[in-house]
Amino acid sequence: MSLIRDEDKKFLAEEFQKNLKNDVELVIFISSNEDCKYCKETKEIAEELGQINEHIKVKVYDMDNDKEVAKNYGIDKYPATVVSKAGKVDGRIRYYGIPSGYEFGSLIEDIKNVSKDEADLSAKAMEIVSKIDKPIKIQVYVTPTCPYCPKAVGTAHKFALLNSNITGEMIEASEFYKEAEEAGVSAVPHIVINGDVQFVGAQPDDAFAEYILEAYNHN
């Protein structure tokens, strides 16, 4: 049974036809371990998207057998989905947990942005992000039913697309509940930057960028 509805596939086919310019890779990291609740579904979502448009290429790796590949992409949990330019080993735009519910929309936007190699940001946010010259990791804790979470995930991923020093992670809080608990997540979206600066809520991109600058200056 398909995870993406036929009417959604039709809509996506039109969206991808209009927006995809260059090849995009969905790099999936899964495990055969019983503790991976949504590995099968995460892989199936990527493969179904790959069937919709020829610009979407899918690679699937096993965390147990492909540890070196996972290391090269910076992946340490599963299931994981990486969106990158084809031919690039680049794990800066990543999803930990199944990209379902509202986060499926985030994945679609990432595919379009990466394919076009552009992202819509305010001038102020662009100015701040362009100055980041050392590693920044943005972790966005979400749940699939949170309507405000995709905005936060999308902004983090736009920053990562536009600056190679920035990594944007979506982390599904109910799948990685221990990690979410340690981060003090009680409401979503909950954003943690470099394990230091934290805030809750979907902020405008220029306000979000100010938090990145705060974390940058702390370092």
Integer angstrom CA distances of residue 103 from 68, 77, 148, 172, 194: 28, 18, 10, 9, 22
* Rounded CA separation 175/67 (Å): 21
> What structural domains and CATH numbers belong to the chain?
6-116 (3.40.30.10), 123-218 (3.40.30.10)
Q: Name the band, by pLDDT with cuts 50, 70 and 90, for residue 1.
A: confident
Per-residue pLDDT tens for 208-218?
999 999 999 98
Q: Does residue 170 register a pLDDT over 80?
A: yes
For residue range 54-113, list pLDDT tens digits in order.
999 999 999 999 999 999 999 999 999 999 999 999 999 999 999 999 999 999 999 999
Close Cβ partners of 61 (under 8 Å, ≥ 6 residues apart): 27, 28, 29, 30, 69, 70
pLDDT in tens, 12-27: 999 999 999 999 999 9
Checking 89-94 for CB contacts under 8 A at 24+ apart, the result is 91/27, 91/167, 92/160, 92/161, 92/164, 92/166, 92/167, 92/168, 93/157, 93/160, 93/161, 93/168, 94/167, 94/168, 94/169, 94/170
d(CA 144, CA 16): 23
- Segment 39-50 shows an average pLDDT of 98
Q: How many CB atoms lie within 10 A of CB 185?
A: 23
First to last CA, the chain: 48
What percent of the chain lies above the pLDDT cut of 90?
Answer: 95
Q: Which residue has the higher pLDDT, 191 or 36?
A: 191
Question: Residue 120 pLDDT > 90, yes or no?
Answer: yes
Q: What does the pLDDT average to over 163-182? A: 97
pLDDT score of 206 more than 90: yes
